[in-house]
Amino acid sequence: METTMADTHGPPKGAGALAKRESRLAYLMLLPTFVIVLGIVLGPLLANFWISFKPIELADLRAAAPVVNEQLRPRPEAAGDAVILRYRLRNSSRKDAIEGVTLTDTLPEGIAVTLNDDRCALDGRALFCDFGTLGAGERVELQFPTVVGQAYLDAGERARDSDPVLTGDAPNVLTSFTFTLDNFRRIFASDEFWTVLKVSLYYTIFGTVGALVLGLFAAQLLNTAFKGRNVLRGLFLFPYVAPVIAVAFAWVLLLDAGPGGTLNALFQRMGLTDGPINFLGQRAVPFTVFGMAFEFPVALTTVIAFEAWRYFPLSFLFILARMQSISSEMYEAAEMDGATPLQQFWSISLPQLVGILAVLFLLRFIWTFNKFDDIFLLTGGAAGTRTLTVDVYEQAFAVSNLGAGAAVAVVVFAVLLVFALIFFRFSPQDDG
């Protein structure tokens, strides 16, 4: 068989250059997508870091600006009436001064204005006033005696077509290069912050483990063929696909400590409790074990149970898909060797599921640590259920301290980053 030079020495010399040009073209075409994704991801993150180092409150989002109100009083009725042209200026900020404040206005035709303020000058119909610096919360009122002519009355609605224009420069704490560590000092010096951090870790760890365990049990149950399995699989997805506000409201009604609480009424009829239990409003119940006093966190345990119930379907789907990829011959061989179902699960299923369980633990840990809506809808962060994400909301909007709220958000990011690095360093690998 004939062998050509190209067959002996591989592809032509131009093939490598063509591949490189195609690669550069592909990256160039994907560049807008990369830029958009980076902007969406990094933009809010960088903005949050920026705000966390600034002494900024909610009111500071609107920079200081001069505001003016123009009036001609009293309303003229006939030509020759003497009235007052009034300008009322104020600084919208009670914290920052405004420099270089000026007012420019074009007066309507048919009025004769007498200036009585050295800060103002009139050139024909053009009025110009220079107020210099307007202090924080400062107000200025100008009153010019004015005589109305017939031309003004004839103009009617068009008499005040021109609105006064204000200029001025004011510092904007949001865009300035003034930075401080006071936000971080304040939150780290607070005992409440460390309590909230402990609650967040407790809620995240147990909520994540609970969702994985429930998902594992559900997957193990539905991995076996039986009549009605497909219907049951669909029902298991309900907690995850249902709107969070609907399921949260249902849990609130179910766990209500009042007469309408279904679970409390059921417990009392069965004689399990003497009175209602405030599942969502009671911080803790003391109990003693071997002479040692402990407290059972009622409300926190309730929201953890809600977290595990609501998000176990995601774990269930991934685990079930991985289980169904395991060869049935392995189970048949183990059964012939006399292995019990528990031994089969421990020695065959679990080692094959380690990889997917590790990935699910990482994802659920991050999502649960960032979870806000579930706790806010159930308890509002009361009764010992306040997590870092709820604290971000409280600091930024309830207390109106955006800087402190952003600082707490930076702590959330740092905790998740450290967890992710440790996880990737020590996470087990899937053998399957």
| Higher local confidence (pLDDT), 96 or 431 | 96
Instruction: Give the model confidence (pLDDT) of 320-355 as tens digits.
Output: 999 888 888 888 888 888 888 888 888 888 888 888
Residue with tokens 């870091």: 49
Question: If you average pLDDT over each of 4-8, 26-30, 119-123, 346-350, which comes out highest?
Answer: 119-123
- 33/144 Cα distance (integer angstroms): 60
> Within its chain, how far is the Cα of 257 from the centroid?
31
Residue 5's pLDDT band (boundaries 50, 70, 90)?
very low
| Higher local confidence (pLDDT), 155 or 120 | 120
What would you report as the CA-atom Rg of the chain, rounded to the nearest whole angstrom? 35
CATH T-level topology, domain 62-169: Immunoglobulin-like (2.60.40)
Which range among 55-64, 96-105, 201-210, 302-311 shows the weakest confidence by mean pLDDT? Answer: 55-64
* 62-169 matches 184-426 in fold: no
- Classify residue 397 by its DSSP letter: I
Which range among 26-30, 84-88, 400-404, 423-427 shows the weakest confidence by mean pLDDT? Answer: 423-427
Residue with tokens 């062998």: 3
In degrees to the nearest 10, what's the CA dihedral of 296, 368, 373, 280? -10
Instruction: Give the model confidence (pLDDT) of 67-81 as tens digits.
Output: 999 988 888 888 888
β-partners of residue 69 are 88
Q: Which two tokens stand for residue 85?
A: 């042209």
Instruction: Give the model confidence (pLDDT) of 171-221 as tens digits.
Output: 888 888 888 999 999 999 988 999 999 999 999 999 999 999 999 999 988
Instruction: Give the model confidence (pLDDT) of 390-407 as tens digits.
Output: 999 999 888 888 999 999
Task: State residue 346's pLDDT score.
Answer: 86
264 in Cβ contact with 256 (< 8 Å): yes
Instruction: Give the model confidence (pLDDT) of 373-385 as tens digits.
Output: 999 999 999 889 9
Q: Which two tokens stand for residue 246?
A: 């609907």
CA nearest to 297, candidates 386, 213, 208? 386
Q: Which two tokens stand for residue 385?
A: 């259920």
Instruction: Give the model confidence (pLDDT) of 85-121 as tens digits.
Output: 999 999 988 888 999 999 999 988 888 999 999 999 9
Indicate if the pLDDT at residue 159 is higher than 80. no
Angle among Cα 32, 34, 39 to the nearest 5 degrees reads 95
Which amino acid makes up residue 294?
Answer: F
Task: State residue 153's pLDDT score.
Answer: 85
Q: Which two tokens stand for residue 166?
A: 């204000």
- 306/244 Cα distance (integer angstroms): 11
- 216/208 Cα distance (integer angstroms): 12
DSSP result, 175-229: TSS---SHHHHHHHT-HHHHHHHHHHHHHHHHHHHHHHHHHHHHHHHHTS--TTH
Average model confidence (pLDDT) for the chain?
A: 87
CA nearest to 195, candidates 367, 375, 387? 387
- 103/318 Cα distance (integer angstroms): 66
Which range among 18-22, 123-127, 204-208 shows the weakest confidence by mean pLDDT? Answer: 18-22
Residues 6+ apart with CB under 8 A from 334: 343, 344, 347, 348
The phi, psi pair for 72, rounded to 5°, reads -125, 105
* Overall CATH class of domain 184-426: mainly alpha
Domain ranges, ordered by start, for the chain: 62-169, 184-426
Which range among 156-170, 231-245, 282-296, 359-373 shows the weakest confidence by mean pLDDT? Answer: 156-170
